[in-house]
Amino acid sequence: MTAQLNEDIEFIRLPDVKKLTGVSTSRIYDMASKGLFPKQVKLGPRAVAWIKAEIIQWNRDQVAASRGPQASASTASK
C-alpha cells in the first residue's frame, strides 16, 4: 500500500479520503491501525493527509476482492 516515491505525490485530506472511499472517519482510523487501510502522513503538529495514489489503489483492491479471482483475471488481460 505504498506509492512509488519517484512519482509526484498528491496529498489529500480526510474529507476527500471519505468522499473517495465512502468510509467513515472512525472506520478509516480503525482499519489503518490494523494495517487494512493506507496510513496517513503527518504534515505538521496537527495536520495529516493521505497519499491519493494509495487511496485509489485501496479502492481498486476492494473492487477486486469483492468480485473474486475472475474479476482480477479479466481486468489483467485488458
| Range of the structural domain that residue 70 is part of | 11-76
* Count of structural domains, the chain: 1
pLDDT(78) > 80 = no
- Tell me how far apart the alpha carbons of residues 2 and 15 are, in angstroms, rounded to a whole number: 20
Domain annotation covers residue 4: no
pLDDT(53) > 70 = yes
The confidence band for 68, taking pLDDT boundaries of 50, 70 and 90, is: confident
**What's the pLDDT at 9?**
94
**What's the pLDDT at 1?**
53
Domain annotation covers residue 3: no
pLDDT in tens, 3-49: 556 678 999 999 999 999 999 999 999 999 999 999 999 999 999 99
Q: Work out the burial of residue 42: count CB atoms within 10 Å of its CB; fewer than 13 is exposed, 13-18 middle, 19 or more buried.
A: exposed
User: Which amino acid, residue 58?
Assistant: W
Domain annotation covers residue 16: yes
